[in-house]
Amino acid sequence: MNILAIESSCDETAAAVIADGRRIRSNVVASQAELHAETGGIVPEVAARAHLQVLTPIIRQALRDAECNWDDLDAVAATAGPGLPGALLVGLNAARGVAFARGLPFIPVDHIEGHVRANWLDSEPPPLPALALVVSGGHSELLLMTEAGTLERLGGTRDDAAGEAFDKVARLLGLGYPGGPVVSQLALEATDRTLRLPRAWLGDTDDFSFSGLKTAVLHTVQQDPAPPAAEVAWAFEESVADVLSKKAARIAEREGVASLLVAGGVAANRRIRELVRQRSRVPVFIPPPELCTDNAAMIGAAAAVHTDQAIRPEAPIDIDPTPYRSKVRR
């Protein structure tokens, strides 16, 4: 079974062809990072229009790379939320258009579930039940994946998402966008590793908070003299990695899960990958960095487990931009 999947929820325009729910036949991602670097962050309208400009060639490229033609497709999937409304509409409607023209079923996919399902791509499936830590630019969620594969939200950030904190700290340090990779790279250059920034543990809750840390970074860079930027970047990354890894490992143990899955753009972070692997008592699964950041392959993997939710492309449908935290409760 071949699924053509499309992702356009944020600032990556992506299309992929996934075979049998697991095998990546093609995976094309066009990042708008350069466009948004000018403004130091995403302007939703600008993102939506950029998706519109590049999506058709990206879909063609995904079919070409997969050595696939339209007749080889069995279903079409697209991210239906959460995300930027205008951006979501571009990918969703393009996917419905293809499905309608080819008489194929259409599968709407939840972006967060997509991130989690990246752990199934081109690899052995993780054992369930699992604890999933999804950390990206827009989300920091702790989810329990049951044996049946459904997701229940345990907790998440109360303010900034982990990636958002990286992006804002990058701006405070005068670095580019997206902040994660540049902050992480700069942290490697820190020679003095004694600066300590606060950690918000929030007691025994399953929640996170990163806004206090961001304010601490602001106060640190305003000191006179301020520590070198590399040391601030290092201390910030340590604080985020410490909290995420400790909480995830502890909650995985408490829930008695068979594996710990980490996903989302921030899961590409070297230090977070290292600390989670060090601290977890259950097997850890983290996709390769290129499948952590937004892509369509993960949307295809999630669509494959929801073929029963396929709809006729002409059926009425809406996007669901609502953040995850307000939708899924235990």
User: Which chain residues interact with Zn ion by CB under 5 A?
Assistant: 136, 294
CB nearer Zn ion, residue 58 or residue 232? 58
Nearer to ligand KG4, 126 or 265 (CB): 265
Residues 12-41, one symbol each (x = binds ligand KG4 by CB under 6 A, - = not), give ------------------------------
Neighbours of 232 (CB within 10 A): 25
Applying CB under 6 A, which of residues 108, 163, 287, 313 lies at the interface with ligand KG4? Answer: 163
Cα dihedral 157, 258, 275, 29 sign: negative
Rounded Cα distance between 175 and 169, Å, is: 8
Min dist. Cβ of residue 269 to ligand KG4 (A) = 3
Options 81, 108, 138, 313; binder of ligand KG4; rule CB under 6 A: 138
- If one asks whether residue 91 binds ligand KG4 (CB under 6 A), the answer comes out as no
Percentages (nearest 5) of helix, strand, coil residues in the chain: 45, 20, 35
Q: Which helix (H) or strand (E) holds 277?
A: helix 270-279
CA angle 71, 74, 79 (to 5 degrees): 120
What residues have CB less than 8 Å from 71, skipping those under 6 apart?
none
Whether 134 contacts 112, CB under 8 Å? yes
Q: Is 156 in the site for ligand KG4 (CB under 6 A)?
A: no
Residue 181 binds to ligand KG4 (criterion: CB under 6 A): yes
269 binds, among ligand KG4, Zn ion, none (CB under 5 to 8 A by kind): ligand KG4
Give Dmax over CA atoms of the chain in angstroms: 65
> In the window 254-283, what residues touch ligand KG4 (CB under 6 A)?
264-266, 268-269
Which positions from 281 through 300 interact with ligand KG4, judged by CB under 6 A?
A: 293-294
Residues that bind ligand KG4 (CB under 6 A): 10, 136-138, 163, 166-167, 178-181, 184, 264-266, 268-269, 293-294
